[in-house]
Chains A and B, each alone.
Chain A
């Protein structure tokens, strides 16, 4: 289960609101404030064009991971937030219908990828990020690897905006029971 939400524009259609989601969004927002806006200010200019190589990223991304209490089976909510870094609308190019991806890595090896087995159209698309608008992309991981085996121990979760060029958030370490 996954959703793509624009926080300010509309409420998520299918994700239930509870205090944990608010905590997550708040945390992502804090991350955006620290990383995204700081990066924008550090760059010294507002970037509004497509994310061609050589230009400062127009959008900052941050990742958070939160366990979900959904019964006996473990579930983990991955949330990738993206926010424009400047004071003008950011335009980001995507090479196809995919806009984000999540990868779980253990001991340096990829054990799960959200996009595996998924199909995307092959039209170049551009998305616009008005300044201050936080867009979140979510996915739920069932704690199993690509072969369906339960994973234990420590893993790293990576979230990437699959733009051109891709924008990767700082990885989050997750300790599984």
Chain B
């Protein structure tokens, strides 16, 4: 897939068409200005092989996205070529000669000099090229690209356990990260190779012994068959890894060669809060993976319009409380504390968003760092009024809130101009509003049903719509709200008050679904995603589609995906290709297009047969497919004529089976 930007360029060289591979001679030199940071200089000559090295004028020399033409003396120069991977390809094409490809291993600031020798074409020779185009047919694939949350129960440790090779050092790294606790950096190294090991793709599925027999003379040993026509081999080291790769590429029936690389899990911080393992709602929506990107920021202000707060709860101690205010009856304007004696609703909502994390106590809030603005608009004993909610929204906006959570509702048939205007005021100032959809098993209530508010329904721990959750065209997303009918453990766990004592309890309701989305919005802010419309769009398009395909009234756009949201992993950013079953050809890549809110990638010109469609989002943007990215593949039978539709779910790389990881790694680099 040569058009993949910044992708590693360890090319799969179709063996046919390569006339001659030439060694690259490295000469230190200076020609004018030194290459800039991240670039190298390339000079050389193109000569005719077998003709006394006669220079070839007018040869087109390409490397990366740059190209130049050789002069009358055959010389060419590209002074500032961006380094794009450990290995890069130089291609030379000239009329009357077979094209040639040279592999180089540039480093920033380096000056390289190469000599490219081209063989003259013989009669009937079409010249070939370093990239023979795939055969064309009339078939097409329409891939519906969608994201899925991490499977429940997976963790960084679990994902690491599926890795091949070199897991020891990964385990030490993970231990260090766990000891560090609140590490917020995403650690990912995938450049180191496993010495002496290579992933080789062949042109068909062969039994391991047959491959062994084929390559016996070359001293290559097949370690295992990874999947289909991919094999892990051990090869004796040559003068350099490049030389070894070239030698392996020339073995019989080999299609592609890639070094086996060490991989490490994305540093997913696991907080030491003792009840974290009971917070099933957080892994359900990929929160721990999002923590590998950001754990929040005190600069982000979340207004909780609710029954007030109990700031003395031990798991809220240390949370930055700002600008509290009361608009409900029975207390002064500055007294935002909850008047509850049993079940402090506001404290539970705030705990989901912001309970102190990694403090060896209680639960972990979605944001390890954030500022909470408690705005009391309801009494736990006597409820609240729409007028108080409107005042609370206005207060929150005018006092610096970035996002407002409203786990409350009133009948949508009651149209209040005052509160509608405050909602629109907030939206016009870029404040994100989130509200629970309501628990009536009916139509979405207000304020959630207002167009400027993100309406959040509830699912249980099995991603099924909760029995009570409202539905309708106004529903935007679903998030964990719990279902305690069978077990209290299936509720959402958070900070609470019971009989005057601070405790932790399980509850159910869209009241507890909404703060999950609010918490994610706060994480997005801390990750630099601050435009309200972009936030809303990302939440929608990165959600895990549940229920009927695409938007539906029961699940809206789907189950929110925290990691996809904070990494801006919109499915239309995916690269999608189709590989022939024998791996000999790859069509694409293409980007999906938005169709009715769904991301659909159409790859055309396919020959009939069973193929593999695959996709990749470089969520950890380093140009390499691996931990932290979204990826997936699916089998498809392409007809003689016309399109075939296929569902292409993309999951976090770490959660994919090892066999899929190996196949994807090989396919994506073609």
Task: Pick the contact of A122: B382, B389, B407, B411 (CB < 8 A).
Answer: B407
Given contacts A95-B440, A96-B509, contact A118 B385 (CB under 8 A): yes
Q: Within A14-53, which residues are at the interface with B (CB < 8 Å)?
A: none
Q: B310 to nearest A CB, angstroms? A: 15
Q: B446 to nearest A CB, angstroms? A: 9
A77-118 toward B: CB 8 Å interface, digit per residue (1/0)?
Answer: 000000000000000000111100000000000000001111
**A115 and B411 form a contact (CB under 8 A):** yes
**Complex CA–CA separation, A124 to B409 (angstroms):** 13
Q: B171 to nearest A CB, angstroms? A: 42
**Complex CA–CA separation, A123 to B508 (angstroms):** 6
| In the complex, chain B residues whose CB is within 8 Å of the CB of A117 | 385-387, 410, 414, 416
- Interface core residue of B348, B389, B510, B512 (most chain A CB under 10 Å): B510
Residue A121 at the chain B interface, CB threshold 8 Å: yes
| In the complex, chain B residues whose CB is within 8 Å of the CB of A118 | 383-386, 410
Residue B425 at the chain A interface, CB threshold 8 Å: no
| In the complex, chain B residues whose CB is within 8 Å of the CB of A122 | 407-409, 436, 438-439, 509-511, 514
- Interface core residue of B377, B381, B439, B484 (most chain A CB under 10 Å): B439
- Interface core residue of A115, A117, A120 (most chain B CB under 10 Å): A120
**Complex CA–CA separation, A95 to B458 (angstroms):** 13
Residue A119 at the chain B interface, CB threshold 8 Å: yes
**Complex CA–CA separation, A125 to B496 (angstroms):** 14
**Complex CA–CA separation, A2 to B306 (angstroms):** 21
**Complex CA–CA separation, A171 to B438 (angstroms):** 28
**Complex CA–CA separation, A115 to B410 (angstroms):** 9
**B378 and A120 form a contact (CB under 8 A):** yes
| In the complex, chain A residues whose CB is within 8 Å of the CB of B508 | 123-124
**Complex CA–CA separation, A12 to B243 (angstroms):** 90
Q: Within A113-161, which residues are at the interface with B (CB < 8 Å)?
A: 115-125
- Interface core residue of B306, B384, B484, B512 (most chain A CB under 10 Å): B384
Given contacts A95-B439, A96-B409, A96-B509, contact A121 B377 (CB under 8 A): no
Chain B interface SS verdict (over half): mixed
**Complex CA–CA separation, A123 to B386 (angstroms):** 18
- Interface core residue of B383, B408, B414 (most chain A CB under 10 Å): B383
Task: Pick the contact of A95: B343, B387, B468 (CB < 8 A).
Answer: B468
| In the complex, chain A residues whose CB is within 8 Å of the CB of B389 | 119
Q: B327 to nearest A CB, angstroms? A: 11
**B440 and A119 form a contact (CB under 8 A):** no
Number of interface residues of B (CB under 8 A): 36
Residue B307 at the chain A interface, CB threshold 8 Å: yes
Residue B388 at the chain A interface, CB threshold 8 Å: yes
Q: A115 to nearest B CB, angstroms? A: 7
**A123 and B348 form a contact (CB under 8 A):** yes
Q: Which residue of B lies closest to A121 (CB)?
A: B345
Q: A158 to nearest B CB, angstroms? A: 16
Residue B598 at the chain A interface, CB threshold 8 Å: no
Q: B343 to nearest A CB, angstroms? A: 7
Q: Which residue of A lies closest to B439 (CB)?
A: A95
Q: Which residue of B lies closest to A52 (CB)?
A: B485
**B378 and A97 form a contact (CB under 8 A):** yes
Given contacts A118-B385, A119-B384, A119-B385, contact A124 B411 (CB under 8 A): no
Residue B229 at the chain A interface, CB threshold 8 Å: no
**B409 and A119 form a contact (CB under 8 A):** yes
**B509 and A119 form a contact (CB under 8 A):** no
**Complex CA–CA separation, A115 to B307 (angstroms):** 17
**A119 and B378 form a contact (CB under 8 A):** yes
Task: Pick the contact of B408: A116, A121, A125 (CB < 8 A).
Answer: A121
| In the complex, chain A residues whose CB is within 8 Å of the CB of B378 | 97, 119-121
**Complex CA–CA separation, A123 to B506 (angstroms):** 11
Q: B229 to nearest A CB, angstroms? A: 54
Q: Which residue of A lies closest to B348 (CB)?
A: A123
Q: Within B338-365, which residues are at the interface with A (CB < 8 Å)?
A: 343, 345, 348
Task: Pick the contact of A123: B387, B388, B512 (CB < 8 A).
Answer: B512
Task: Pick the contact of A121: B385, B407, B411 (CB < 8 A).
Answer: B407
Residue B507 at the chain A interface, CB threshold 8 Å: yes
B32-57 toward A: CB 8 Å interface, digit per residue (1/0)?
Answer: 00000000000000000000000000
List 15 A-B residue pairs with CB atoms under 8 Å apart, sorted by A's residue number: A95-B468, A95-B509, A96-B438, A117-B387, A117-B410, A118-B410, A119-B383, A119-B384, A119-B386, A119-B408, A120-B383, A120-B409, A122-B408, A123-B407, A123-B508
3 pairs of A and B residues whose beta carbons are closest in the complex: A122-B511, A123-B509, A119-B384
Known: A116-B411, A117-B414, A125-B343. 20 other contacts (CB 8 A): A96-B439, A96-B509, A97-B383, A116-B414, A117-B386, A118-B384, A118-B386, A119-B378, A119-B383, A119-B384, A119-B386, A119-B409, A119-B410, A120-B409, A121-B345, A122-B409, A122-B436, A122-B438, A123-B343, A124-B507
